[in-house]
Structure 1
Amino acid sequence: MASTQASIDIPASADQVWNLVAGFNSLAQWLPMIQHSEAQEHGRLRHLTTVDGTVIVERLESYDNAARTYSYSITEGPFPVTDYLATLKVIEVDAGNSRVEWGGQFTPAGITDAEAVEIFDGVYQGGLQALRDNF
């Protein structure tokens, strides 16, 4: 199993950042590569459509509002991995600053661990920079 994680400091309170990312179906509001997100199964499943038309389906696995974190798996998508589980977490650094950590673990399917890590490094780092650009 391979894993990777990225983090970024954001000049906004943890509550402000969490308010933007906390809704499992809110990805399209802060991640430009996601054109549309549709919630199903009472909000536990999100069907994402990227700007190039790719469909990704993700399932909410755990959610902790007080700890400002949630984890999700991918049930359908273009990624050459299985057993994917990712976690997004917002941490309060001080009153006006926060750190967001986004990482995952997965089993590469038909590619090397390094190739799989490279894919998700790009997703997480690019996604976190897009999130920071909202503040």
Structure 2
Amino acid sequence: MASTSVSQVVPASPERVWRLIGGFGSLPDWFPAIPECVLVEGGRVRRLRTAEGEVVVERLVSFDEQAGSYAYTFDETPFPVTGYLATLRVHAVPGEKDTAEVQWSGRFVPRGVEDDDVIALFTGIYRDGLDALLKTLSG
């Protein structure tokens, strides 16, 4: 099993950040690489379309409003992995009420490719997403 984690400090309170990213269908609001998200199965499954037109279907497996986190798996993906589990969480920064840290992490089993290649792929996706979040919150 391989894993990666990326974090970003952003200039907004944890509550503000969670309002923006905490909805399972909110990716298009802050991540331009995902321009379309359709929620199905009562909001527990999201069907994403990437900017390149690929389809990714993700299933919500845990959601904690109070802790500011959720976790999801893949139901359908173009990525060469199995056993994927990702978590997006918002943390308070001690002593900084208008600053939050956002962490996006995942673990997975690469399928037919080297671990390092898939780790680099997801590290890049998470980094691009958190960079876009920073830009959204700073703008």
TM-score over 0.5 for the pair: yes
Task: Note the C-alpha offset of 1:75.
Answer: 1.0
Q: Following the alignment from structure 1 to structure 2, what is the Cα–Cα distance between the partners of residues 126 and 65? A: 24
2:91 maps to 1:91: yes
Amino acid corresponding to residue 128 of structure 1 in structure 2: L
For 2:62, the equivalent position in structure 1 comes to 62
Q: Following the alignment from structure 2 to structure 1, what is the Cα–Cα distance between the partners of residues 25 and 12? A: 21
Residue-by-residue CA offset, 1:2-43 (whole Å, 9 max, x unaligned)? 000000000100000000001001111110011110000000
For 2:33, the equivalent position in structure 1 comes to 33
Amino acid corresponding to residue 52 of structure 2 in structure 1: D
1:36-55 correspondence to structure 2 within 5 Å: 36-55=36-55
For 1:9, the equivalent position in structure 2 comes to 9
2:130 maps to 1:128: yes
The 3-state SS of whatever aligns with 2:119 is helix
Query: Which has more helix, going by share of residues?
Result: 2
Q: Tell me the TM-score normalised to structure 1 length.
A: 0.98
Runs of 4 or more consecutive aligned structure 1 residues displaced over 4 Å after TM superposition: none
2:115 maps to 1:113: yes
Task: Note the C-alpha offset of 1:85.
Answer: 0.1
Amino acid corresponding to residue 135 of structure 2 in structure 1: D
Residue segments in structure 1 that go unaligned for 5+ positions in a row? none
Q: Following the alignment from structure 1 to structure 2, what is the Cα–Cα distance between the partners of residues 17 and 133? A: 12
Q: Following the alignment from structure 2 to structure 1, what is the Cα–Cα distance between the partners of residues 105 and 19? A: 20
RMSD over equivalenced CA pairs, Å: 0.5
Q: Following the alignment from structure 1 to structure 2, what is the Cα–Cα distance between the partners of residues 134 and 85? A: 26
Task: Note the C-alpha offset of 1:81.
Answer: 0.4
> How many corresponding residue pairs?
135
Residue segments in structure 2 that go unaligned for 5+ positions in a row? none
The 3-state SS of whatever aligns with 1:19 is helix
Amino acid corresponding to residue 30 of structure 2 in structure 1: W
